Structure 1
Amino acid sequence: MAISSIGVGSGLKLDELLENLRTTEKKSLAVIQNRQIANTNKISAYGQLKSSLGELQSATKALSEDSFGAVKVTANSENIQITGKANAAPGQYVIKVDNLATRQTLTAAAHGSRDSAIGEGGKITVRLANGKEHTLDMKGKDTSLQGVMNAINADAELGMKATIINTGNPSEPYRLQLSAEATGEAASISTISVDGNDDLAAVLNVDASDPAASGFEQTKATNAKLTVNGIAITSQSNTLKNTIEGLEITLNKAGEDPINVEVAKDDGAALNAVKDYVAAYNKFNNAIRSLTAYNVDLKKGAALTGDSMAREAQNAMRDATLGFVPGEGQIRSMVGLGITVDPKTGDLQLDEKKLTEVLKTNMADVKNMFLGEQGIAGRVHAAADEFIKKGGRIDNVQEGAEKVGKRLQDQFDAADQRIENKIEAYRKQFVQLDVMINRMQGTSNYLSQQLSMLGNMNSNK
């Protein structure tokens, strides 16, 4: 008869025995599994190392020209906004804003429909006050007010933008309004002319010197006008760059009252940039310690304990940060800034009081130490790049570890299959044993019955 579970026929716990054999055999897979776990942890740790290096590299961006020699600009009015660059000279200024720069607008005569075609095709030529000229070809395009507006707004070379105003007039509610793209008189529209479409010409042709003759209304452009320490300034834009060297002035509102502006040296920007770099370096150093740590009590290392890549990255960042900077300046290393190394942890320790004093008295040397040709910022950025760039050293070791992971998985699958094959062979043998024992028990039972019958027959005689 068919036996659905081994051991049923014989009464032996062959199923349990087979599972115990499987469990015992699969213990040998633990070696491969442990190697897989260690390799996966290493791949993850390389990712953490790459991220930590990237953060340290990013911290060098704050060590910039704008940080060393930064200025602080204050003004006693919100009518202007001023930002300063490192080349701005400390000083005081009195600014009076007489007039803001504005854009010209030209509003065409009223029109009855925004969607009906106005003739066919044609070329629209726009000439600006600064002499620039550009032509928009309407061939094959929608010549309705809506279509003309869309075509104008899609052409960045025209120097103007368009919109449609709905006045609410029941018969002719739509007016096309054209605005110069930039502020100031030079950017204003001088003429608009249409060739090849008389109907469209009747709507758009205009000479800004006499807009009323074409049914247009005009709001003229104006230049910004201001005085700086009594000197008259005219600008096409409300944003003035280098009117005062190193300063960018944005005019928000005209006013009668003079505005007092003070430009002062700001060592705080450099101080914060250096402090932030020290913090980033220590964060990187802590990450290395964590990734390469060894627990003496557990006798167990971290993912990159003993890994040469982690130590090489740490050494590279330390050398780039702490190495002397060539040159003749008095400040040529971190020690000169009041930054020393903790001998136990390797972290940087900052004497903020000393750094503040050095920045106050010797900013040029500090700037050169970080930003010079062989300065710390450039060295750290370049050294980190060797490890974290695409196809760099960390990518290479990660790729190698991923190949190891694939080989380990192949080994695991092959070993697991060998075990399953062995267990299947055991199962077949157990089935045969079960059948054999079942038959033997059947024969034994038959013989016992026959002997019992013979005994009964003899006792009846």
Structure 2
Amino acid sequence: MATSPLSSLGVGSGLPLDTLLDGLRKAENAPLAALQNRATKEQQRFTAYGTLQSGLDAVSAAAANLGKSQTYNAVKTSVTGDSFTASSKAGSGAIAGNYAISVGNLATAQVLSSEGTASRTAKLASGSGLVDITFTLGNGDTRTVSIDAGKSSLEDIVKAINADSELGVSATLMNDGSETPHRLMISADETGTESRVTSISLAAGQGASGIDLSGLESVLSYDANDAEAGGMKQIVAAENAQVTINGISVASQSNTIENAIEGVTLTLAKKTADGAAPDALRITRDDSVATSAVNNFVSAYNALQSTIRALTAYDVDAQQGAALSGDSLARRAQTQLRDAINGLAVDGMTLSSLGIKTDPTTGNLSVDNDKLNEALANNRADIEQLFAGEGGLSKRVTAAVEVFTKSDGLIKASQDGITRTLKLLETQYDQMEARIDQKMETYRTQFVQLDSFMAQMNSVSSYLTQQLSMLANLNNSDKK
């Protein structure tokens, strides 16, 4: 008796075999869910350690800034007048003082101009090959640019000069509206006499043949020592800046003068009017740099405390801990940083005496800036020693942090351990999933066999029922 293949599990038997198989799959998958949950928690721990390291790095950076001498020896500049501005960078070595400054001359850049020509596109040289244009500068340097004789118009010269940033000069064209309006203008890129052009010479270059440079020389040649020579003429002379500082004359190639006053940069704006009094520069101590450094450290330290509290918190109502709840590493970092700032003293000066106090409840620091500024005004050297000296806060804090954050430190070791655990969990997950898949396939095979057998049994049952019914009908007919 032939049977047709089953198109869906359970059709032959009438049993909910698909539902039963799904239930078995869910039951078998329970250990996979446990592995996934554990992997998720390990990943959260890994991320939390990264957050902890960022907080520790911020504290270390702020502490390192407190360890710099320039933090306690900063100065600020103020200028009375408008002939110059002044600035001083941290660590530049500037010293407090007063200066009377007159600007006698501003530095200028040289400008050369050619005679006018009728066309800006006509060739100025004949022949073939290259033409070498050599510029000699006031400092003795020579720079050469080459053009093709077939491309020797004013436009071609401008393009060639401006394409070479090493020449030290720039070129442009000017139209004066006359019958020969086109003038070549060459400007020194820098101010001062050392950057000026002292000569421009032309010569046949590589591959030159039948070269005639007379037309090009009539426009471009220049000799500072021969005012009557043809070619370029100087229309703006290069000049050096000249200032007088407390009666001492200072010359500069640029309008930006560095270290004429140690650690100070002067930027000249205009010449002091004839007969006018010098403008004044005042350099004074700037304790705000140290105050800001202290406040930045306190902010970074308090932010770290908040981070550690959040990472190690436990929600009693939800009965759920944060990523590092119960983890000793975060608490250890917190303890070691507290130890690093406790007990600091230099000649009786402590953090508390500077207005820096610890909240006994939260562990956060606070700063009384008025008290700190008063201490800086009266005892800056001792404060520098407290923060930046050997055994001071800066070295103690950075050393404490380094144990955790260095490349082979405690945080890296913990993260490496988590990485190994995650790889192991991944392997376990894959192996368990493969076993479950194999078991489910076995279940499916058995269910298919069961379904087929039940279908056959149902078919036999139907056949027998039919035959018995037919016999009963025959018996009833015979009795009649």
TM-score bracket for this pair, using the shorter chain length = 0.7 to 0.9
- State the secondary structure of the residue aligned to 2:35: helix
1:274 Cα offset (Å): 0.7
| Aligned pairs for 1:29-44 within 5 A | 29-44=32-47
Q: What per-residue deviation string (whole Å, max 9, x for no partner) do you get for residues 48-74 of structure 1?
A: 123223333333465444432222322
Q: Does 1:253 align with 2:275?
A: no
Aligned-residue sequence identity (percent) comes to 41
- State the secondary structure of the residue aligned to 2:190: coil
| Aligned pairs for 1:23-34 within 5 A | 23-34=26-37
Equivalent position of 1:9 in the other structure: 12
User: One-letter code of the match for 1:205?
Assistant: S
Equivalent position of 1:416 in the other structure: 433
The one of 95, 99, 107 aligned to 1:93: 99
- State the secondary structure of the residue aligned to 1:346: coil
Instruction: Provide the rounded CA distance (Å) in 2 between the counterparts of 1:186 and 1:28.
Output: 81
1:3 Cα offset (Å): 1.4
- The answer to whether the Cα contact below 8 Å between 2:220 and 2:231 also exists between their aligned partners in 1 is no
User: One-letter code of the match for 1:102?
Assistant: T
- The answer to whether the Cα contact below 8 Å between 1:341 and 1:347 also exists between their aligned partners in 2 is yes
- Larger deviation, residues 221-230 vs 99-108: 221-230
- Larger deviation, residues 282-291 vs 165-174: 165-174
Instruction: Provide the rounded CA distance (Å) in 1 between the counterparts of 2:20 and 2:35.
Output: 25
- Larger deviation, residues 60-69 vs 261-270: 60-69
- Larger deviation, residues 231-240 vs 22-31: 231-240
1:366 Cα offset (Å): 1.9
Equivalent position of 2:208 in the other structure: none
Instruction: Provide the rounded CA distance (Å) in 2 between the counterparts of 1:108 and 1:396.
Output: 72
1:19 Cα offset (Å): 0.8
Q: Does 1:214 align with 2:230?
A: yes
1:375 Cα offset (Å): 4.4
Q: Does 1:19 align with 2:26?
A: no
- State the secondary structure of the residue aligned to 2:462: helix
| Aligned pairs for 1:10-159 within 5 A | 10-60=13-63, 62-63=65-66, 64-85=68-89, 87-111=93-117, 112-114=119-121, 116=123, 118=125, 120-130=129-139, 132-136=140-144, 138=146, 145-146=154-155, 148-153=157-162, 155=164, 158=167
The one of 473, 476, 479 aligned to 1:456: 473
TM-score between the two structures when normalised by the length of structure 1: 0.86
1:41 Cα offset (Å): 0.5
- Larger deviation, residues 237-246 vs 280-289: 237-246
Q: Does 1:164 align with 2:181?
A: no
Q: What per-residue deviation string (whole Å, max 9, x for no partner) do you get for residues 363-410 of structure 1?
A: 122223333455433554565456445565544443442232222122
1:275 Cα offset (Å): 0.6
- Larger deviation, residues 382-391 vs 344-353: 382-391
Equivalent position of 1:263 in the other structure: 283
Instruction: Provide the rounded CA distance (Å) in 2 between the counterparts of 1:193 and 1:56.
Output: 62
| Aligned pairs for 1:191-340 within 5 A | 191-196=199-204, 199=213, 200-211=216-227, 213-218=229-234, 219-256=236-273, 257=276, 258-322=278-342, 324=344, 329-330=346-347, 334-340=351-357
Instruction: Provide the rounded CA distance (Å) in 2 between the counterparts of 1:69 and 1:83.
Output: 15
Number of residues of Structure 1 aligned to a counterpart in Structure 2: 456
Instruction: Provide the rounded CA distance (Å) in 1 between the counterparts of 2:28 and 2:40.
Output: 20
- State the secondary structure of the residue aligned to 2:71: coil
1:291 Cα offset (Å): 1.6
- What's the C-alpha RMSD, in Å, of the aligned pairs? 3.2
- The answer to whether the Cα contact below 8 Å between 2:75 and 2:284 also exists between their aligned partners in 1 is yes
1:307 Cα offset (Å): 3.4
- State the secondary structure of the residue aligned to 1:27: helix
Runs of at least 5 residues in structure 1 that lack an aligned partner in the other structure: none
The one of 457, 461, 471 aligned to 1:440: 457
| Cα 1:456/1:78, change in 2 over 3 Å | farther
1:90 Cα offset (Å): 3.3
User: One-letter code of the match for 1:81?
Assistant: T
Q: What per-residue deviation string (whole Å, max 9, x for no partner) do you get for residues 253-310 of structure 1?
A: 2342543333332222211121111101111222122222233444433222343443
- The answer to whether the Cα contact below 8 Å between 1:125 and 1:133 also exists between their aligned partners in 2 is no
Instruction: Provide the rounded CA distance (Å) in 2 between the counterparts of 1:128 and 1:260.
Output: 36
